[in-house]
């Protein structure tokens, strides 16, 4: 009976860990998608700024330097966002691996619990 209670407690803890991992996985996926969207928007803005800088360069105006600086800044932001998105993708992969491990442990605990329950049922008869 104590072994069954222990296994049930372990199974409940594994279920809780699985739920936490699933929530973390969902949050990581949403954040990765948000970062990807921001990176795409920043990249488009950088291209636009570069185009405006090229147009300004043709006119030889003082605004050329400002456009170039803005384009360089936006390019750096794009690279930073892309790097953050890659980090989030790695973390997402790690979370998925953890979720798979927790799921496997939960299934093993369920099998052990079923075996012990069968043994208890045999002794009860």
DSSP output for 98-123: HHHHHHHHHHHHHHHHHHHHHHHHHH
Helix then strand then coil, in percent of the chain rounded to 5, is 95, 0, 5
- Is residue 88 scored above 80 in pLDDT? yes
Query: Rounded distance, CA 50 to CA 67, Å?
Result: 7
The pLDDT assigned to 60 comes to 59
- Indicate the domain borders of the chain: 2-124
11-22 pLDDT, tens digit per residue, is 888 888 888 888
- Quick one: DSSP state of residue 1? -
Query: 61 pLDDT band (50/70/90 cuts)?
Result: low
């Amino acid at each position: 009976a104590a072994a069954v209670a222990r296994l049930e407690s372990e199974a409940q803890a594994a279920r809780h860990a699985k739920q936490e991992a699933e929530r973390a996985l969902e949050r990581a996926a949403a954040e990765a998608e948000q970062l990807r969207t921001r990176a795409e928007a920043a990249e488009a803005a950088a291209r636009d700024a570069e185009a405006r800088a090229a147009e300004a360069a043709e006119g030889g105006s003082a605004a050329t330097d400002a456009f170039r600086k803005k384009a360089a800044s936006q390019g750096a932001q794009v690279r930073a966002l892309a790097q953050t998105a890659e980090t989030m993708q790695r973390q997402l992969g790690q979370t998925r691996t953890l979720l798979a491990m927790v799921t496997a442990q939960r299934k093993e605990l369920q099998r052990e619990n079923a075996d012990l329950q069968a043994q208890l049922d045999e002794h009860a008869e």
